[in-house]
């Protein structure tokens, strides 16, 4: 009986570790899904996600993520600057949520946050920044308590 219970718990936990993927399909549309992309997908990336208990992140990062969650706002046609913003967050190992604005409600949320629908835009806790500027993003992350890159001082 206990082995059956353990097996059921393991199977339930396996689904909770879902990874998000972003890719371009055969028609040139950007797709974000929790299922791996098909073989003909291009520009495949793993999208950012929330911190997990076993993700190997430093305690300071987990604490900062809990107090000051990070959201990156993008659109399907934002290519270079959105990629740079994503790479900065990934390089610093910052857990983040990416919101690709597609609906009127998402564009309204972005407009309320930064004053217009400019992407990329970054929200760190209650603070936000419109556009991509690596130094400004680093400053927001430093103020929120995210550890700097090794060799850099906040």
CATH number at residue 52: 3.40.30.10
CB atoms within 10 A of CB 92: 19
- Indicate the length of the chain as a whole number: 154
**Residues facing 31 on adjacent strands:** 23
Residue 33 placed within a domain: no
Residue 26 placed within a domain: no
pLDDT at position 2: 52
Distance CA 38, CA 46 (A): 14
Distance CA 57, CA 95 (A): 9
pLDDT at position 15: 44
Distance CA 22, CA 74 (A): 12
pLDDT at position 56: 80
Residue 2 placed within a domain: no
pLDDT at position 14: 43
Task: Indicate the pTM of the whole model.
Answer: 0.65
Residue 11 placed within a domain: no
Question: When comparing pLDDT for 70 and 50, which is higher?
Answer: 70
Per-residue pLDDT tens digits for 106-149: 999 999 999 998 999 999 999 999 999 999 999 999 999 999 98
Distance CA 75, CA 31 (A): 11
Per-residue pLDDT tens digits for 17-42: 445 666 676 666 666 666 667 766 66
What share of the chain has pLDDT > 70, as a percent? Answer: 62
Query: What is the pLDDT averaged over residues 85-93?
Result: 95
Domain of residue 136 covers 47-148
Q: Residues 79, 43: contact at Cβ < 8 Å? A: no
Residue 79 placed within a domain: yes
CB atoms within 10 A of CB 100: 19
- pLDDT reading at 73 higher than 90: yes
Number of domain units in the chain: 1
Residue 20 placed within a domain: no
- pLDDT reading at 80 higher than 90: yes
For 54, the token pair is 């076993």
What share of the chain has pLDDT > 90, as a percent? Answer: 54
- pLDDT reading at 70 higher than 90: yes
């Amino acid at each position: 009986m206990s082995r059956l219970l353990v097996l059921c718990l393991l199977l339930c936990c396996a689904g909770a570790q879902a990874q998000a993927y972003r890719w371009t399909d055969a028609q040139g549309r950007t797709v974000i899904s929790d299922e791996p992309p098909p073989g003909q997908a291009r520009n495949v990336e793993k999208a950012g996600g929330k911190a997990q208990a076993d993700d190997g992140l430093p305690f300071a990062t987990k604490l900062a993520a809990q107090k000051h969650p990070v959201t990156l706002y993008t659109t399907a046609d934002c290519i270079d600057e959105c990629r740079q913003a994503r790479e900065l967050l990934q390089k610093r190992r910052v857990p983040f949520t990416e919101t690709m604005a597609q609906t009127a409600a998402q564009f309204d949320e972005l407009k309320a946050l930064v004053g217009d629908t400019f992407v990329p835009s970054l929200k760190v806790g209650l603070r936000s920044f419109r556009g991509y500027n690596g130094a400004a993003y680093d400053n927001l992350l430093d103020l929120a308590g995210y550890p700097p890159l090794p060799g850099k001082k906040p």
